[in-house]
Structure 1
Amino acid sequence: MSTSIEPESSRLGTKQHWDDVYERELQNFDDDGDEGEVWFGEDSVEKMIQWAEEHVPTAQGANILEIGSGNGTLLFGLVDAQYDPKHLAGIDYSAGAVKLARNVSQARDAQDVTFNECDFLNDDPAVLPHMGDTRTACWDVLMDKGTYDAIALGEKDAEGRSPAWLYPRRAARLLKEDGLFLITSCNFTEDELKTSFVTADTGFEYHSRIQHRTFSFGGSSGSVVSSVAFKKTVQH
């Protein structure tokens, strides 16, 4: 990822921050059943689900992994849209997030959705029971709603790169050939996401986009949120 488009490091890019967030949200869930914040709002979740329904019909039985699943809102939305919960998985590097998502799954009677703790940049996620033993090039669809943004706020290395520079290749490593990756971001524009993900190292090509609400300022227009999908065309 080009350093010219990277945001400054922030506490939001630290594991401690997210552990603190989910400790509070776990307590809120225990106290009053509050499932926690919906990052980017319900509208963004609904649009990602609509994209899935258009490009990955339920009948395909696709294995879908959400990177940085938090409280599981997106995956539970897919369950409501009739995706098979046994084919849905979420990972998060915060143990509190995983515990919250599992607790919510119990409350929603969606226990067949799988949630696991995983440091995405360093470890390959566990696969679902029906997927065999191979942990790479095995997922049909990856989804991300804000995780890439958070990773990009992490501490920069000696070369001035945020940890997000590792992300595109890690994502490509997990997808099958012809697999799809949908990412929603509030820190990066569509063009910036294309620059970061469509590279020779990933084998990604642009697939589609989601239209979000736009705004105009100073004669220019844009979206508060960007959602872009990529297709893996080359198997590395």
Structure 2
Amino acid sequence: MSAELQPSKLGTKEHWDHVYAEELTNFEEIGHEGEIWFGEESVEKMVGWSLEHAAPSLNPAVLEVGSGNGTLLFALAEAGYDQKLLLGIDYSGDAVKLAVNIAATRNAAEVTFSICDFLTDDPLLLPGMQSNDTPGAWDLILDKGTYDAIALGQKDGDGQSPATRYPGRLTRLLKTGGIFLITSCNFTEDELKSNFITEETGLIYHSRIQHPTFSFGGRSGSIVSSVAFQKPL
């Protein structure tokens, strides 16, 4: 890891189970869909990037890691992506329940959501995917804040963050030629490159999304960073 983040409750499953239990109750009672992580603009920018680099006409199989309430995948479905090829995974059961319930109100019932711990479990295969494609079954993998949360988890006995296991898991699931797009608020673009472009992953830099910048103390930067990496052919 190129940045030392201290563990916090945001890196615990207990925290997210509590968050999504509350959001599920709110949706059932008043129809509120919950928080959009990083806001609607980040969703729009990730969808716009996807349309340019992994167009719906290519029928990409898309996996979102830590899909929460499903906002990003619903936006992809609205943009023309085949719902049957969209899978969102989350380790919180109530997050999955929330996304499924919202999908039923958004004409997006064919988007699949599944309970899965990305660091330990392989996502399920969608209908039509060949078992011999496993584990490299995905054309496009998306992450909007999940890597950030994992990086805030408790360190192991060797002082390693659980996020150190993320790049290897990711590479294992990408198809050859597949692309990973991540949006982060805890890591800069350079830090993301350092963490994901390694000898272990073999990933290469693909592209980036430009976010609004700010200046402070003579330096400029963005509140969030979005970078795409590719598994070479």
The residue aligned with 2:219 is 220
Instruction: State the distance in 1 between where 2:81 and 2:16 align.
Output: 28
Once the two structures are superposed, the pairs formed by residues 8-157 of structure 1 within 5 Å of their partners are: 8-134=6-132, 135-157=134-156
Cα displacement (A) at 1:86: 0.6
Instruction: State the distance in 1 between where 2:82 and 2:65 align.
Output: 18
- Residues 124-167 of structure 1 show CA distances to partners (whole Å, capped at 9, x for unaligned) of 10010110224301100000000000000000112221100000
Cα displacement (A) at 1:109: 1.6
Once the two structures are superposed, the pairs formed by residues 155-174 of structure 1 within 5 Å of their partners are: 155-174=154-173
Instruction: State the distance in 2 between where 1:194 and 1:160 align.
Output: 22
Aligned residue-pair number = 232
The residue aligned with 1:182 is 181
- Residues 89-129 of structure 1 show CA distances to partners (whole Å, capped at 9, x for unaligned) of 00000000000000000111211000000010001100101
Secondary structure at the aligned position of 2:128 is classed as helix
Secondary structure at the aligned position of 2:34 is classed as coil
CA RMSD of aligned residues (A): 0.8
Query: TM-score normalised to the size of structure 2?
Result: 0.98
Letter in 2 for 1:37: E
Cα displacement (A) at 1:6: 2.3
Letter in 2 for 1:167: Y
Letter in 2 for 1:71: N
Query: TM-score normalised to the size of structure 1?
Result: 0.97
Letter in 2 for 1:159: D
Secondary structure at the aligned position of 1:183 is classed as strand
Secondary structure at the aligned position of 2:18 is classed as helix
Instruction: State the distance in 2 between where 1:160 and 1:216 align.
Output: 34
Instruction: State the distance in 2 between where 1:138 and 1:27 align.
Output: 34
- 5+ residue gaps, structure 1, are none
Letter in 1 for 2:207: S
- 5+ residue gaps, structure 2, are none
Cα displacement (A) at 1:46: 0.2
Secondary structure at the aligned position of 2:195 is classed as helix
The residue aligned with 2:195 is 196
Letter in 2 for 1:219: G
